[in-house]
Amino acid sequence: MTVSHTPEFHIKEVDGRTLRVARWQPRRGSGSNRPLLFFNGIGANIELMAPLPELLDDREVITFDMPGVGESPDPLVPYRPWMIARIAERIISDFGHDKVDVMGVSWGGGMAQQFAWQYGRRTGQLVLAATSAGMLMVPGKLAALSKMADPRRYTDPDFMLKHFRTLYGGNTNGAGGHASRISPPSTLGYLGQLIAMIGWTSVPFLPLISAPTLILMGDDDQIVPLANGKILKTLIPDARLEIIKGGGHLFLVNQADETMALIRNFLGAGPPLRAVA
């Protein structure tokens, strides 16, 4: 099966919210691998994760811009993680999928944990990268967190490149490409994502997650320190923790070959499980 590996874009109305959804079809193989549902980091538009489907081109990949991010309109009312999980569940149903593998990075890792618990029957395998259990987490370094709060990291590529190492840790490979793909979220969009996580933690339900889980953490992450991955591994039954040596918060970007090899090996191939019409 050979197809162009640019995504199909869809505008979907789900639970009263308008969202831009991207769907990459498999570019090689039989298309029998289970689809991957991806949750992006805070303020991150679809284009920022576009390299990932290029490296997982033997399976369908689905993601969407959060309200007020990328080309999804601003949130009209606040939302919580369980609402985002329900939206994602309805999107995969609309595409005809019964069961998907789930991956989340940073802020999106919280959404992935929520989905895997809320819709355990519909979750095959779970990949959590550079993330934590929410409110009950080991905080990052103040210098990195202060730069995270500065809107110039979205609007000024030079600022992003200058402070890339302070912001994210690790090396700066791929920093230029990352900065060029950023589309700044709206103020309401960014605040909406922050507000969604106030008081939220996955600690009570992590022991109930039954999906095989891979946790990926960088040992030089300035925003979500490695200790958070160890907490996740302790609480999720039989979870596997892989540490990216020298990896900062964006090890998926600047150590992509090593990271994606681990993800591909973990996901393997799964049957095409589709919803019954």
pLDDT in tens, 12-64: 999 999 999 999 999 876 667 999 999 999 989 999 888 899 889 899 999 99
Q: Stretch 117-123: mean pLDDT, rounded?
A: 98
| pLDDT number for residue 167 | 54
Top pLDDT among 270 and 84 is at 84
Q: Stretch 98-112: mean pLDDT, rounded?
A: 97
| pLDDT number for residue 162 | 57
**Assigned fold of 8-139+185-267:** Rossmann fold (3.40.50)
The span from the CA of 128 to the CA of 268, in Å, is 16
| pLDDT number for residue 159 | 58
Of 4-13, 88-97, 259-268, give the lowest mean pLDDT range: 4-13
Q: Using alpha carbons only, how large is the chain's radius of gyration in Å? A: 17
| pLDDT number for residue 276 | 32
The span from the CA of 159 to the CA of 147, in Å, is 10
Whether 132 and 224 have beta carbons less than 8 Å apart is answered as: yes
pLDDT digits (tens, 9 = 90+) for 227-240: 999 999 999 999 99
| pLDDT number for residue 225 | 95
Cα distances (angstroms) measured from residue 250 to each of 70, 187, 223, 231? 19, 23, 10, 20
Q: Stretch 219-225: mean pLDDT, rounded?
A: 93
β-pairing verdict for 123-129 and 100-105: parallel
| pLDDT number for residue 23 | 97
β-pairing verdict for 213-218 and 240-244: parallel
Average pLDDT, the chain: 86
pLDDT digits (tens, 9 = 90+) for 153-204: 565 656 555 545 555 555 555 544 545 567 888 999 999 999 999 999 999 9
The angle, 0 to 180 degrees and rounded to 10, between the axes of the packed helices 107-118 and 81-94 is 70
Of 113-122, 142-151, 183-192, 262-271, give the lowest mean pLDDT range: 142-151
pLDDT digits (tens, 9 = 90+) for 63-76: 999 999 999 999 99
Using a pLDDT cut of 90, give the percent of the chain over it: 67
The residue type found at 106 is S
* 3-class DSSP assignment, residue 234: helix
68 conformational bin, left if phi > 0, alpha if psi -120 to 50, beta if neither: left
Q: Stretch 252-272: mean pLDDT, rounded?
A: 84
Which residues are identified as catalytic? 106
The residue type found at 151 is P
Residue 152 has pLDDT above 70, yes or no: no
β-pairing verdict for 17-24 and 61-64: antiparallel
Whether 121 and 142 have beta carbons less than 8 Å apart is answered as: no
Q: Where are the domains of the chain?
A: 8-139+185-267
Whether 113 and 209 have beta carbons less than 8 Å apart is answered as: yes
